[in-house]
């Protein structure tokens, strides 16, 4: 088992290297760089070429690509992301709070979604074609059809109009003031959690329906087990695996993919940072963000694989 985990972790290295090469080249293929971005936004297209070249030299952009890549890699090897090209402050500092915020929203949304999706999906499957099932289906189809940012806007409007209250607009870390923190983050978590929950519910319902038709469920019923035991012990363990995959991928996506919702709730999360970094052509920051999100994806994937092996004895560690 320990060997398996080690092997899997090592197998992440080539994937990450591939991602690194890809993002490195991709960034340099899009027209413009940080120097142009800065001076163009300042409206002074007439900056002297020398000055701009000087700036590029300071940032190391005049070096050959392999050298730039090499120094980035050696930094990564020391877990040092370097400085942001735009703000010139350490990237770790830039990302820290935003990562905490995004991670917290992702965790809260996933928790809400999972805790709702699993029982709802099971209920709908067990009561297939009854009014309960229809209600759950309407709930989840509506969730799929509702964009999170729109739901978020509605939530803010509703709170404003009905309660004359808006959630705090400035991020307070959980460890500073949990109450303010939750008062701000619970809403975006609910807004994205709804869609997420809808995806999970549909998946749970369909896999559960499939499992309930299996022969071993009939065997379990023939043994005279209680319905509750059949569902939790015999059916759920088989039906949960595909749901787990969907839920975890959605979770990983939440970390960096919430651009519009972050805007609606005025959150300074990773999604917004991504957009800023790219529009500033801030190579170092964009690269760091991509590597961070990619690593996160791989880790989530890895945890899911371990969970699979744990839930399904047919899967062997290799």
Residue nearer to another protein on the CB measure, 123 or 267: 123
222 binds another protein, rule: CB under 8 A:
yes
Pick from 85, 189, 191, 220: which binds another protein (CB under 8 A)? 220
Number of residues that bind another protein (CB under 8 A): 22
**Residue among 29, 224, 228, 318 that touches another protein (CB under 8 A):** 224
**Residues 6 or more apart whose Cβ sits within 8 Å of residue 226:** none
Which of residues 63 and 245 has its CB atom nearest to another protein in the complex? 245
Is 277:86 a contact under the CB 8 Å cutoff? yes
Check binding of 3 to another protein (CB under 8 A).
no
**Phi (first) and psi of residue 90, to 5 degrees:** -60, 135
Residue closer to another protein (CB basis): 77 or 313: 313
Selected from 52, 186, 225, 259, the binder of another protein by CB under 8 A is 225
Interface characters, 283-312, with another protein (x: CB under 8 A): ----------------------------xx
Site string for another protein, 235-274 (x = CB under 8 A): --xx------------------------------------
Residues in the chain: 318
Cβ 70 vs Cβ 218: under 8 Å: no
What part of residues 166-205 is at the interface with another protein (CB under 8 A)? none
Q: How far is CA 307 from CA 70, 143, 201, 237, in A?
A: 37, 27, 20, 11
Question: Site for another protein (CB under 8 A): which residue of 98, 202, 205, 234?
Answer: 234
Phi, psi of 157 (to 5 degrees): -60, -45
Task: For residue 216, state whether it binds another protein (rule: CB under 8 A).
Answer: yes
Q: Are 132 and 281 in contact (CB under 8 A)?
A: no
Among 219, 232, 279, 317, binds another protein (CB under 8 A): 219
Geometric angle at alpha carbon 216, from 212 and 217, rounded to 5°: 35
Helix (H, G, I), strand (E, B) or coil at 83: strand
223 binds another protein (CB under 8 A): yes
CA distance 35 to 113: 43
**Should residue 134 be labelled a site residue for another protein when binding is judged by CB under 8 A?**
no
CB of 115 to another protein, least distance (A): 22
Cβ burial of 198 (10 Å; 0-12, 13-18, 19+) is: buried
Distance of alpha carbon 159 from alpha carbon 88, whole angstroms: 39
Rounded to the nearest whole angstrom, what is the least distance from the CB of residue 305 to another protein in the complex? 16
Residues of the shown chain interacting with another protein in the complex, contacts defined by CB under 8 A: 129, 214-216, 218-226, 229, 233-234, 237-238, 311-314
């Amino acid at each position: 088992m320990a060997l398996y985990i080690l092997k899997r972790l090592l197998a992440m290295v080539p994937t990450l290297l591939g991602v690194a090469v890809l993002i490195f080249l991709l960034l340099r293929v899009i027209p413009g760089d940080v120097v142009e971005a800065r001076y163009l936004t300042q409206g002074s297209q007439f900056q002297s070429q020398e000055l701009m070249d000087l700036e590029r030299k300071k940032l190391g952009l005049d070096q050959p690509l392999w050298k730039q890549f090499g120094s980035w890699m050696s930094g990564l090897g020391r877990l040092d992301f370097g400085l942001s090209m735009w703000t010139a402050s350490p990237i770790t500092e830039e990302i820290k709070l935003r990562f905490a915020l995004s991670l917290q929203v992702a965790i809260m949304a996933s928790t809400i979604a999972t805790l709702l999706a699993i029982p709802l999906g099971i209920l709908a499957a067990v009561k297939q074609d009854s009014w309960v099932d229809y209600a759950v289906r309407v709930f989840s189809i509506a969730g799929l059809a509702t964009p999170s940012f729109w739901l978020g806007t509605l939530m803010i409007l509703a709170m404003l109009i009905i309660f004359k209250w808006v959630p705090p607009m400035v991020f307070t870390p959980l460890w500073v003031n949990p109450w303010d923190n939750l008062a701000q983050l619970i809403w975006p978590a609910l807004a994205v959690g709804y869609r997420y929950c809808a995806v999970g519910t549909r998946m749970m319902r369909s896999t559960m329906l499939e499992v309930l038709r299996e022969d071993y469920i009939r065997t379990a019923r023939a043994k005279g087990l209680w319905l509750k035991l059949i569902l939790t012990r015999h059916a759920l363990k088989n039906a949960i695996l595909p749901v787990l995959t969907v839920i975890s991928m959605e979770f990983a996506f939440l970390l960096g993919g919430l651009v519009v919702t972050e805007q609606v709730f005025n959150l300074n999360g990773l999604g917004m940072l991504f957009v800023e970094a790219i529009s500033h052509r801030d190579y170092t920051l964009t690269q760091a963000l991509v590597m961070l999100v990619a690593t996160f994806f791989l880790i989530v994937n890895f945890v899911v694989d371990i969970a699979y092996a744990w839930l399904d004895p047919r899967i062997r560690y290799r």
